[in-house]
Amino acid sequence: MAKAKVVLATGAFDLLHYGHYRFLEEAKKSGGRNPKLIVIIARDKTIKKRKGKRPILPEDQRRALVEALKPVDQAILGYERMNIEAVLKKIKPDVIAVGYDQRDIRKSVEEILRKGRSRVKIVQIGRFGSADLNSSSKIKRRVIEEWR
């Protein structure tokens, strides 16, 4: 019997929405039969550094919400200082799923894989949901507009 593949996905997952759920569903499917989906949740400090603002929900709540989703087997907080190489060594994924907007993460992973872990497959997952509600930023803007 073949060993279940480990699929790794990452993200901020602030203001969890339909696009997040579908991304995680498709990420898990990319691992084939009976895969294990592990999700790395970006730390609050990482989000502030990358996006210039704090997330709405704190990291421990975002982690718990993501882990509660049916496709997710385990959700863990990322390193305080984003370290993709350390994550790959710790998790040892067979597949890495990246979102449609995670081009920089994909590029970083590809560089690391060229250095040695070339058997890991990278899959880019498409966009889901209506265009006006398919990102946390768009949802935040809509809430502001509706409550003015």
Determine the length of the chain.
148
**Each residue of 77-129: pLDDT tens digit?**
998 877 788 888 899 999 999 988 888 888 888 888 888 756 889 999 988 76
Domains of the chain: 6-146 (3.40.50.620)
Q: Of 76, 3, 7, 5, which Cα lies nearest the Cα of 37?
A: 7
Residue 139's pLDDT is what? 73
138: its two tokens: 């768009």
**Each residue of 5-32: pLDDT tens digit?**
999 999 999 989 888 999 999 999 999 9
